[in-house]
Structure 1
Amino acid sequence: MTITDTTKVYDLISPELKADIITMVREDSWPEMTDAQAERGVNQMAAFLAVAASTREKATPSLRVDLFWHAFVLHTRPYADFCDALGGRFIHHVPDRNTARNPAEGRNAMRRTAEMLREAGFNPDPEFWPTHHAANCCGDCTQSYAGCSDSPVK
C-alpha cells in the first residue's frame, strides 16, 4: 500500500484493537488522557508507522506517539498484519538509549519525522509532535524517552 489516502491508514486498526491500545496507554502511562487525545494518538501512531514503512530514512516517534506504538507492538499478530497492509515490511521497534541522552539530536529527529508525516499527506498534531517546544507536551520535549526509532531499509 502506498500512502495515497491517509484515512485508509487509520482504518487499518479495528475499533476493538484501537480501544485496547488506548486502554493500555491509559493504564500504563497516561491515565488523564481524554477520549479525544486517545483517538488522535492512535491516528498519529498509524501515520507515523505508515511513513516509517514507506521511507528509507530513519523515523523517530515523539514520546506520546511512542506510548501508542509500545501498546500496539505488543499485539503481535494485528501489528504484523498492519505492517503487511502498509507494504509488507515489518516495522521493527528499535530502542536506542544513547540517542535519548542527546536532547538536540532527539528534537531534530522528531522534527524531521513530523516533516515526513506532512510530506506524506498526514497532519502532525502539535500535541503529539511538539516540535516547537510546546509547553503542554508530556515529559521531556525531545523525542521518545528511549530514543526509539523504526528500522529503515538500507
Structure 2
Amino acid sequence: MTARTLLSDAQFNEVRATILDNNPGMEPDLASRILTDALAFVAAASARGGRGMVPSRVVDEGWHALILHTGLYQNLCALLGGFVHHTPERPDPGRFDSAVLARTIAAIESAGYSVDTDLWGAPDAELVSVAAKCQHSDDGGPIVIIPKPKG
C-alpha cells in the first residue's frame, strides 16, 4: 500500500511544492518520494503511538512540509487516530543509531506501507541535501501522540 493515497492530488501537490520551494534544484519526483515516505511515517507513528520511531533526515524534510500545512496536517492526524508532534534536534551524526531507523522502517512496513529505502540513510550519507536542519535520534522524545492510543 502506498501512503500517497492519504492526500488528494491537490493536497499532495501543495505539500510537494513546499518541499520543492525549500530545496531549490530538487527534482519533483524526489520530492514526491520524500513526501510519500513522510506520510507513511506519520501514519505508522500515529497508529503505534510513536514509540521507537524516528524519521531519517531526508524523510523529515517531507514531515516538515506537512506540518507547515497546519490544517491539512491536523486533519490528516485526526484521520489517522492521533496528532504526531515534532520536536526537532540539531543534526549530529554522533547520535545516529541505525537500529532506531531499522525499527521505524519495520513499523512502517508492519502498518502496511512500502518504504523507499534510499531515503532512510544516515544523516551524513544524504541522498540529497535538504533544507531541514534537524535529526531525530532516539526513542525517547521526538514523537508525542495526542491523544495517547489506548492499550
Counterpart residue number, 2:57: 63
State how many pairs are aligned.
140
C-alpha contact 1:106 1:147 (8 A) present in aligned 2: no
> Normalized against structure 1, the TM-score is what?
0.75
C-alpha separation in 1, matches of 2:47 and 2:27: 30
Counterpart residue number, 1:44: 37
Identity among equivalent positions (%) equals: 26
Residue 105 (structure 2) pairs with residue 114 (structure 1): yes
Structure 1 gaps of 5+ residues are 1-5
Amino acid at match of 2:38: M
C-alpha separation in 1, matches of 2:78 and 2:113: 20
Selected match of 1:124 from 94, 102, 115:
115
C-alpha contact 1:95 1:146 (8 A) present in aligned 2: yes
Amino acid at match of 2:102: R
Structure 2 gaps of 5+ residues are 137-141
Residue 22 (structure 2) pairs with residue 34 (structure 1): no
Amino acid at match of 2:101: M
Pairwise CA RMSD: 2.7
Report the Cα offset of residue 82 of structure 1: 0.3
> Normalized against structure 2, the TM-score is what?
0.76
Selected match of 2:78 from 72, 79, 84:
84
C-alpha separation in 2, matches of 1:52 and 1:35: 25
